């Protein structure tokens, strides 16, 4: 939702499967050891990506970026993955996830006895308990004001999306298993992955011990905002470390932060240039990679990515899709192009915390000036001639429910630019609107300029708030509107409260409609598919009626590979080109 690319809204949701720089040459800061390169092959694969890594924890509001999620996917344990058809696929390399009961919903997680972290330590229920605590929000007792500031109680783990599921404290805990009993049904139970970081590393980094961490997890009561208990000092130290301790802009000198439970592990990082991953020597199972090194080049410019591919500097690219990029690739020899739609969309969101948009008429007037058809025709239609303007905030074209929702959600109110009606709603007002967007993304630049030009016709001054650091500014709210993209996992519904629940940490534009918030929370425990669709369509209608913002278009996707790499297949979800990295050969 990776943002787009801020996973692009990573929508990973916080518990969904894990869950989109300057043009430079690659370089390595360290040389992998002989152990690290002890793979079935000594081949190096190099892939270009748009965005640079900013954190090894994609679950926080500031770390919720597509590239962070991709690195997490390759380096951290996963109970499930998604297939090319977006179907949930169990990953027996780590262990098993088994539903024991429907009422109450009860799920048992069992680790393989030979599962290990890259430092040789066993992966145990200690790690599952920490992962569950991090993702569930079980201990949180915080009450927040309209700006998200904690006014009472304690907020422990900071999540990009407030946890949509609630369980009791885990039961039947053994060395290799835990059982989660849900307090109410949870629609995405089969996407919950209660593990991310090694408990022994986190405890050490937080200045405590694993045994004291486990004691804190056991002794701290469930959060109760109405009657908050005093903060547990040990648990707070652990949470504070997880919240910010994995945020990095270069290779950490403390190598414990790089301990991996996935098929790959980070070994080098040249800021603004590249990151190198090598096989995790302790990883076993069908997802072991078939090469000796993976170099991820950070190349923001699509043309530079194409040039790097043509010159053999990289083996595969995932550039921003555009007509010029497709044309350049079509003219290249020995290049294989994979195209498709992403489970992602570009959108304009209005900041409901902004004074200029307190007036609903100003919100609606501004939206009536947005030239969505023009934006689509300049960015997407040259790639996909059948593309249409996106008319839903919750569905994408082709998904079940899209057509029905569009018929009833009042998106038709904004089907065409209407400057006369915008002026009428403004009644002589000439508001100034500052828009945040990524200045290094050509598509976002084009979108901003089109909006700025059109809005001026209604007397609206659109101020350039663009920044290369846009993603770090998104949660701050120092803007009136924002242009970016959400990338969904491709399965599940965890993203809904992230966007529409009042005070959710992922609700960046501070949308606070009581009915939409209530419905968003309700979607997480609605197992009846028909009822779930009704709830989603009701939220969709509220979003348009309240002038939440406007969806623009479903994002086109593009992979391209040279002749030497095999196994790369198109995938439009959050994990991008790396979704089947274990199938790649060179």
How would you write the pLDDT of the chain (586 residues) with one tens digit per residue? 233 333 333 333 323 332 321 111 112 233 333 333 344 468 999 999 999 999 999 999 889 888 999 999 999 999 999 988 888 999 999 999 999 999 999 999 999 999 999 999 999 999 999 999 999 999 999 998 866 788 999 999 998 877 778 999 999 999 999 999 999 999 899 999 999 999 999 999 999 999 999 999 999 999 999 999 999 999 999 999 999 999 999 999 999 999 999 999 999 999 999 999 999 999 999 999 999 999 999 998 899 999 999 999 999 999 988 888 988 998 888 899 998 888 889 999 999 999 999 999 999 999 999 999 999 999 999 888 889 999 999 999 988 899 999 999 999 999 999 999 999 999 999 999 999 999 988 889 999 999 999 999 999 999 999 999 898 899 889 999 999 998 776 778 888 998 999 988 889 999 999 999 999 999 999 989 999 999 999 999 999 999 999 999 999 999 999 999 999 999 998 899 999 999 999 9
Determine the pLDDT at residue 29.
30
Determine the pLDDT at residue 440.
85
Three-class DSSP category at 94: coil
**What's the length of the chain?**
586
Residue 550 to residue 504: CA distance in whole angstroms: 20
Bridge partner list, 362: none
Determine the pLDDT at residue 19.
30
DSSP secondary structure string, 6-43? TTTTT--TTTS------------SS---TTTT-SS---
Checking DSSP bridges between strand 316-317 and strand 44-49, what pairing results, if any?
parallel
Determine the pLDDT at residue 562.
96
Which of 333, 338, 334, 295 is closest to 318 using CA atoms? 338
Residue 321 to residue 264: CA distance in whole angstroms: 27
Token duo for residue 285: 């199972």
Residue 124 to residue 249: CA distance in whole angstroms: 30
Taking CA atoms, 76 is separated from 5, 79, 262, 263, in Å, by 21, 10, 4, 8
Place of tokens 């998106």: 411
Place of tokens 């053999």: 312
Q: What are phi and psi of 52, to 5 degrees?
A: -90, 155
Q: What are phi and psi of 81, to 5 degrees?
A: -130, 175
Q: Which parts of 168-235 are beta strand (E)? A: 177-181
Cα R_g (the chain), whole angstroms: 23
Which of 543, 43, 553, 558 is closest to 309 using CA atoms? 558
Number of other residues whose CB lies within 10 A of the CB of residue 120: 9
- Helices vs. strands in the chain: H and E counts, helices first: 16, 17
Distance of CA 451 to the CA centre of its chain: 26
Checking DSSP bridges between strand 264-270 and strand 177-181, what pairing results, if any?
unpaired
Bridge partner list, 557: 340
The H or E element that residue 278 is part of is: strand 274-279
Q: How does DSSP classify residue 555?
A: E
Q: How does DSSP classify residue 121?
A: P
CA dihedral 152, 157, 163, 166 (to 10 degrees): -80
């Amino acid at each position: 939702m990776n943002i787009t690319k801020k996973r692009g809204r990573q929508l990973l949701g916080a518990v969904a499967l894990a869950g989109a720089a300057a043009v430079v040459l690659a370089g390595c800061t360290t040389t992998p050891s002989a152990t690290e390169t002890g793979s079935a092959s000594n081949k190096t694969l190099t892939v270009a990506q748009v965005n640079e890594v900013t954190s090894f924890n994609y679950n926080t509001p500031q770390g919720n970026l597509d590239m962070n999620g991709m690195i997490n996917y390759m380096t951290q344990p996963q109970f499930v993955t998604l297939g090319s058809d977006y179907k949930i696929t169990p990953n027996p390399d780590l262990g098993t996830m088994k539903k024991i009961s429907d009422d109450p919903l009860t799920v048992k997680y069992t680790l393989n006895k030979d599962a290990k972290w890259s430092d040789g330590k066993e992966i145990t229920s200690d790690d599952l308990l920490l992962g569950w605590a991090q993702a569930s929000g079980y201990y949180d007792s915080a009450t927040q004001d309209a700006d998200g500031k904690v006014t009472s109680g304690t907020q422990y783990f900071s999540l990009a999306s407030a946890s949509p599921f609630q369980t009791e404290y885990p039961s039947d805990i053994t060395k290799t298993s835990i059982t989660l009993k849900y307090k109410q049904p949870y629609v995405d139970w089969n996407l919950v992955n209660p593990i991310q970081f090694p408990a022994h590393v986190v405890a050490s980094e937080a200045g405590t011990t694993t045994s004291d961490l486990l004691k804190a997890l056991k002794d701290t009561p469930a959060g109760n905002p109405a009657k908050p208990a005093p903060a547990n000092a040990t648990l707070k130290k652990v949470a504070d470390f997880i919240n910010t301790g994995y945020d990095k802009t270069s290779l950490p000198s403390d190598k414990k932060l790089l301990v991996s439970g996935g098929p790959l592990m980070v070994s080098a990082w040249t800021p603004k240039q590249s990151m190198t991953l090598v096989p995790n020597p302790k990883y076993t199972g069908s997802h072991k990679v078939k090469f000796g090194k993976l170099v991820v080049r950070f190349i923001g410019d699509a043309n530079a990515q194409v040039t790097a591919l043509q010159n053999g500097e990289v083996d595969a690219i995932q550039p921003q899709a555009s007509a010029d990029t497709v044309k350049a690739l079509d003219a290249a020899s020995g290049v294989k192009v994979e195209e498709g739609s992403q489970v992602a969309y570009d959108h304009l969101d209005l900041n409901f915390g902004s004074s200029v948009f307190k007036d609903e008429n100003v919100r609606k007037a501004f939206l009536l000036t947005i030239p969505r058809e023009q934006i689509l025709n300049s960015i997407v239609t040259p790639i996909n001639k059948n593309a249409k303007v996106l008319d839903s905030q919750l569905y994408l074209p082709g998904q079940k429910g899209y057509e029905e929702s569009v018929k009833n959600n009042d998106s038709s109110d904004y089907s065409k630019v209407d400057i006369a009606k915008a002026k009428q709603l403004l009644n002589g007002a000439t508001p100034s609107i500052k828009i945040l967007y990524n200045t290094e993304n050509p598509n976002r630049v084009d979108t901003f300029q089109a909006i700025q030009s059109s809005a001026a016709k209604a007397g609206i001054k659109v101020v350039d708030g663009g920044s290369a650091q846009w993603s770090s500014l998104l949660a701050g709210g120092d803007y009136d509107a924002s242009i970016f993209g959400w990338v969904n996992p491709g399965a599940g519904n965890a993203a809904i409260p992230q966007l529409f629940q009042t005070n959710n940490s992922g609700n960046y534009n501070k949308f606070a409609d009581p009915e939409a918030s209530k419905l968003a929370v309700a979607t997480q425990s609605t197992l009846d598919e028909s009822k779930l669709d009704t709830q989603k369509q009701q939220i969709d209608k509220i979003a348009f009626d309240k002038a939440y913002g406007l969806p623009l278009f479903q994002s086109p996707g593009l992979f391209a590979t040279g002749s030497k790499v095999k196994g790369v297949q198109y995938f439009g979800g959050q994990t991008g080109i790396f979704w089947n990295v274990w199938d790649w050969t060179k």
